[in-house]
Structure 1
Amino acid sequence: MKALIVVDVQNDFVEGGSLGVTGGRAVAAAISEHLAAHADDYAAVIASRDWHDADGTNDGHFAAPGTDPDFVSTWPVHCVATTAGSEYAPALATDAITHHVRKGMGEAAYSAFEGVTDDGVPMPDLLDQLGITEVDVAGIATDYCVRATVLDARRHGLGVRLLEGLHAGVAPASSEAAVREMADAGAEV
């Protein structure tokens, strides 16, 4: 059985957000078009969201107050739980989403596999419970959270396809390197 994993298509990761990625809004719309045409191809549509704590640095994920983020392991404040920045981007149609996964609650988290459902089921357990053997992956950002999700899906023994045109990255060079790494790990790209 196959699932679609939609990674972090949130307001803070599209243009105008605190960590906006060029092309993020277009990707949100393209994922919605894909779902309109292909939702029935999937046993589940799982969407992940960064869901960071408002207080503190989330275990060093946010740059400490008074310091600049290095954009490698420390970041500006983003996707704080229940704020507008943490909500799905408006262009993403959410009616076909069957499971919502939150990650990064008090810590750094890149892969959707680090998340849990609203009722606390870890993502790997959810996929096992649903009998998922293959996943299509789409979302933001190619070179960070999409990359980490694809690599974890491969480590979990799943067949993985990165959907062309349905992901956007922070930078061209790091996105190209991430796509090569995903392909080297056995993902179809």
Structure 2
Amino acid sequence: MSRALIIVDVQNDFCEGGALAVDGGAAVASAITEYLDAHQQNFDHIVATQDWHIEPGNHFSDEPDMVDTWPPHCRARTKGAELHQDLDPEYIQAYFRKGQYTAAYSGFEGILAPEDDVPTGDLKAGALEPEAIDEDAIGLDDWLQSHDVEEVVVVGLATDYCVKATAIDAVQAGYTTTVVAGLTAGIAQDLSDAYEEMEDAGVEVERD
């Protein structure tokens, strides 16, 4: 049995100073780096997901309700879509990009980024060209299965959206799933509902 760590969306736009900042996002980036330095040997595989929006339709809004619609963020190949500088990518084996042309909260909606095209970007928002989606692209579930993963640990941003969606999808896909609450940060001040929803779905939540 293999064990994998899934680092969800620890990107500049979700950390302080970003377009859709989560309070404590930068601290989570640093905490995950410290965790990796201390515990990377406990995982057979470590992967990361990225919001990677090109034209995500109604996901973006000039008047967002901050529930289903959001201000523009994590545009593909922009600085905002890059991993936060405090997250050390040394141990990350693969990156999965999601939300190119639709809203996508779960990392299981992501597709494998080519090894020679891993997260960097210097284009300004609005300077994007359409990217073709390869119908044969490898999704996160396929990748985990091909590496004999049976257990996953999920960390990252934001607890009550993409972390929650990724963890619940992991359970539904058959993985033994744990969320380390101390290595996440959420949009809501009170995350008890998010924790309970995950636990009800079969996720083990390691709370502080």
Normalised-by-shorter TM-score class = over 0.9
Note the C-alpha offset of 1:172. Answer: 2.0
Out of 27, 51, 69, the residue aligned to residue 74 of structure 1 is 69
- Structure 1 unpaired stretches of 5+: none
CA distance in 1 between counterparts of 2:41 and 2:76 reads 30
Q: What value does the CA root-mean-square deviation take over the aligned residues?
A: 0.9
Correspondence list, 1:108-127, <5 A: 108-119=103-114, 120-127=137-144
Correspondence for 2:198: 182
Out of 150, 155, 160, the residue aligned to residue 138 of structure 1 is 155
What does the per-residue CA deviation read over 1:158-184, in whole Å, with 9 as the maximum and x for residues that have no partner? 1011113100000123x2211111111
- 3-state DSSP of counterpart to 2:100: coil
Correspondence for 1:102: 97
CA distance in 2 between counterparts of 1:69 and 1:164 reads 27
Correspondence for 2:83: 88
What does the per-residue CA deviation read over 1:79-116, in whole Å, with 9 as the maximum and x for residues that have no partner? 00110100001110101001111000111000000001
CA distance in 2 between counterparts of 1:31 and 1:182 reads 21
Correspondence for 2:57: 59
What does the per-residue CA deviation read over 1:129-166, in whole Å, with 9 as the maximum and x for residues that have no partner? 01100001100000000000000000001101111310
1:168 aligns with 2:185: yes
Q: Count residues in correspondence.
A: 182
Identical columns (%): 47
After the TM superposition, which of the residue ranges 77-86 and 155-164 deviates more from structure 2? 155-164
TM-score (norm 2): 0.85
Amino acid at match of 1:60: N
- Structure 2 unpaired stretches of 5+: 115-136
Correspondence for 2:170: 153
- 3-state DSSP of counterpart to 2:60: coil
Query: Deviating runs (4+, > 2 A) in structure 1?
Result: none
1:7 aligns with 2:8: yes
Amino acid at match of 1:179: Y
- 3-state DSSP of counterpart to 2:153: strand
CA distance in 1 between counterparts of 2:67 and 2:25 reads 20
CA distance in 1 between counterparts of 2:47 and 2:192 reads 25
CA distance in 2 between counterparts of 1:35 and 1:156 reads 25
CA distance in 2 between counterparts of 1:164 and 1:77 reads 27
- 3-state DSSP of counterpart to 1:60: helix
Correspondence for 1:24: 25
Note the C-alpha offset of 1:59. Answer: 2.2
CA distance in 2 between counterparts of 1:76 and 1:59 reads 12
CA distance in 1 between counterparts of 2:22 and 2:197 reads 20
Correspondence for 1:49: 50
- 3-state DSSP of counterpart to 1:164: strand
Amino acid at match of 2:200: D
